[in-house]
Amino acid sequence: MAKTSHYANAAKKAANVSLAENLLSEAKALRINVSQAAEAGVARAVAEKRAEIWLRENAEAVESSNAYVEKHGLPLEKFRMF
């Protein structure tokens, strides 16, 4: 997953975001930095979407690799220490 530290020193751009009033009030009461929390949430969503896309784009290769291992076993299995 993407770490927010990856974006920590990146240039920032203002964005309008709508949040539920009670959620925003609670976040402020708890002294949560809403911008940082939003950035962390968006970074997480980006990482999840990238992983989803990668899996979809590489599904055929993953299936092929899994089929090979099922048929022939792991290529270097005799060298495994566990």
Q: What is the DSSP string of the chain?
A: ---THHHHTSPP--------HHHHHHHHHTT--HHHHHHHHHHHHHHHHHHHHHHHHTHHHHHHHHHHHHHH--TTGGG---
**CA dist., res. 38 & res. 63, Å (int):** 36
Q: Where are the domains of the chain?
A: 19-73
Assign residue 31 a region: left if phi > 0, alpha if psi is -120 to 50, beta otherwise?
left
pTM summary value: 0.73
pLDDT at 2 (0 to 100): 55
Over residues 15-52, the pLDDT tens digits come to: 999 999 999 999 999 999 999 999 999 999 999 999 99
